[in-house]
Amino acid sequence: MILPLTDFFAVGSVIFAIFMSGTIQLRTNLLLYAVQTFLVGIVTAAFYVASHENHYLYLSLAIILVKSGGISLFLAWVLRRINVFRDGATYLPIPIAMHVCILMLGIAHFLADRLPPPPDLPTMLQVGSAESGIALVLIGTLFMLTRKTAISQIIGFLTMENGIYLFTLAQAHGMPMAVELGILLDVLVGVMVAGVITFRIQKSFEHIDVTRLTDLRD
């Protein structure tokens, strides 16, 4: 039962990332990011069940509590403070962006099938997570390139980070516990700094459209 469920949760995280590209509501995007990250935590817990290594369990709890819960709540607080709840415009129309994300999932599946899986864990466990990791990196990159508000840029970056983590988990069984927790702390601090900067941008320029910042002159 572990293998199909793990594959289900890993691909489910990608599906929620695709849903993110289908809305310009920032609060909805945050909710979808929280669910996506929660599923990444569940996949990590499945690695614990498969390998019986305790650090996977600790990482799973940290991801769910810090990233899925803490970071999402902090960004929701930032949205309330700056009173911005919609991504005003996108470079790609919403339907086209969703279709491109689905295409990226197909590309990720093509690439993951050609990766040499490490022998220590079941192959299906690794392939499903590697495929989802590649897809999340591609979708997060697209999200950052096609959205204009600072909060959307942050969400896109966090989606990319989820993808890099999943891919590393599948192909290299993750990194040492201290390194993983250090990266998690760096992400948390980075998001908090980005949130403060977003608040300052809104206060100074009355918008958070990063593309309009290129119009600034001395």
Q: For residue 40, which of 18, 21, 68 has the smallest C-alpha distance?
A: 68
| Average pLDDT estimate for 127-141 | 85
Distance CA 6, CA 166 (A): 12
Confidence of residue 10 (pLDDT cuts 50, 70, 90): confident
| Average pLDDT estimate for 140-158 | 86
Q: What is the pLDDT of residue 214?
A: 54
